[in-house]
Each structure stands twice: as C-alpha cells, then as structure tokens.
C-alpha cells in the first residue's frame, strides 16, 4: 500500500513564503487555542454524528470551528479519488494538510474519517504540535455498526458488491493510545459531547462553559 509519507512531488525550486501574521497572532484574535479533534472508527460508528453535535456546542460557545467529514470532502477537494489503497492514502494526505492549514488559521478543526490504519493516523498526528492533535476513538462493535447502516453498505460488502470495505474485507486497526475513547453502544451522544468538552477544558483549549 502506498503510504501517506511516500507521496512527494515538491519541486526543489519551491520555497516557503514567510508572512508577518502567524498562528499565535490568529489565536489572540480568536481567544482560544487551535487543535485537531480527529474522530476515527468504523463506518456507522457515530463519528460524524458526535462531531456534528460537538461543533454545535462549540459554535454556541462562540468558538471558531470547522468540520471536515469523510463523505463531504469527496464531493469537492477529493472528488477525483477512488477507493484504491493509493487513492485512500492520498485522500488522507490531503485531509491532513487541509487540517494543518485550519489549525494554522487558529481554528478548532473537527475531522471525521474512518482512517483505518495506524501508520496513517500517526503520520497525520506528526503534522501537528504535540498538544494540537486530539484523537477520539469512536469504539463501536461491528455488529452495532451493521445495525445502524441505513445505506446498506455493509450488506453490499458482505455480498461482494463493494470491495475493500473496512471491517469486512479490509482491516480496521484500532487505536491503542487515543486521548479520548467513546463507546457509542453504551454512551448517549450528549454524554459523548460532554466528555470531549471536559477534555478540551482540561487541556485549556476552551474555558467558558459549564456542563
């Protein structure tokens, strides 16, 4: 499989253009720290649902946010990519770089992607400073995900109509040291959001809320 770090077409003639305004100055304007909240888990685990609910709360609290969702990103930026191992690696590479730009802009960036491989998630984490990347493992049993699958993707994968489907004929490598673990089979959406908000407050990313 083509790794996320193996794609490099940068010309030696391209140099970084320095600017007078950087991340620190943008954070002062926004009055909060930027970070990436990276939701990973099986298809139908609840990643997008929790990310959306969290962004609603953060928006009500006047924090600057943006949500990058796995399906939505393929309607525009990554609409030229398929689902081959190479294209999936490129999909993640682009998302990581976009998230990095959002963090540099001082924004709390929520990313909801299956991102099944440990090496891929590690490579994306390494794009950021240590305190800027918060991994949320949405830990939902496969059987529960199948029950939630209103689009019928798991059924099609089991029938062989979809190839390389994560959890069926393509592996999902669970995180071992995520900052936050959400077990959606046991935890309501509001409680999952409360857990993440509490963590963000403890990390001093946000500060003006009460549960």
Q: What is the pLDDT of residue 74?
A: 87
The pLDDT score that the predictor gives to residue 2 is 44
- CA nearest neighbour of 206 among 47, 51, 50, 64: 64
Q: Which residues are catalytic?
A: 115
Q: What is the pLDDT of residue 211?
A: 43
In angstroms, the Cα distances linking 209 to 1, 74, 133, 198 are 44, 34, 21, 9
> What is the residue whose two structure tokens read 């998230």?
99
Query: Which pLDDT value is given to residue 143?
Result: 95
The per-residue pLDDT for 23 is 82
Query: 24, exposed or middle or buried, with CB in 10 Å at 0-12, 13-18, 19+?
Result: exposed
State both tokens at 148.
């939630």
Structure confidence by residue, pLDDT tens digits, 155-179: 999 999 998 899 998 999 999 999 9
Whether the CB-CB separation of 90 and 81 falls below 8 Å is answered with yes
In the predicted model, is pLDDT for residue 47 greater than 60? yes
pTM score: 0.88
Is residue 31 scored above 70 in pLDDT?
A: yes
Q: Which of 70, 64, 67, 199 is nearest to 134 (CA)?
A: 199
Report strand pairing: 35-40 vs 108-112: parallel
The domains located in the chain, with CATH, are: 23-202 (3.40.50.300)
Between 83 and 107, the more confident residue is 107
């Amino acid at each position: 499989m083509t790794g996320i770090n193996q794609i490099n077409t940068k010309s030696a003639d391209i140099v970084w253009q320095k600017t007078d305004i950087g991340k620190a100055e943008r954070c002062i304007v926004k009055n909060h720290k930027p970070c990436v909240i990276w939701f990973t888990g099986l298809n139908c685990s609840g990643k997008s649902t929790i990310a959306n609910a969290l962004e609603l709360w953060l928006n009500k609290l006047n924090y600057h946010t943006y949500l990058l969702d796995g399906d939505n990103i393929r309607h525009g930026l990554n609409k030229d990519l398929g689902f081959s191992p190479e294209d999936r690696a490129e999909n993640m590479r682009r998302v990581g770089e976009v998230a990095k730009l959002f963090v540099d802009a001082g924004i709390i960036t929520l990313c909801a992607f299956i991102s099944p491989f440990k090496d891929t998630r590690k490579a994306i984490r390494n794009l950021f400073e240590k305190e800027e990347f918060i991994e949320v493992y949405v830990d939902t049993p496969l059987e529960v995900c199948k029950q939630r699958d209103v689009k019928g993707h798991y059924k099609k994968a089991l029938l062989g109509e979809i190839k390389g489907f994560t959890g069926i004929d393509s592996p999902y490598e669970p995180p071992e040291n995520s900052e936050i673990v959400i077990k959606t089979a046991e935890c309501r959406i509001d409680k999952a959001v409360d857990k993440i908000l509490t963590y963000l407050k403890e990390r001093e990313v946000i500060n003006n809320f009460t549960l």
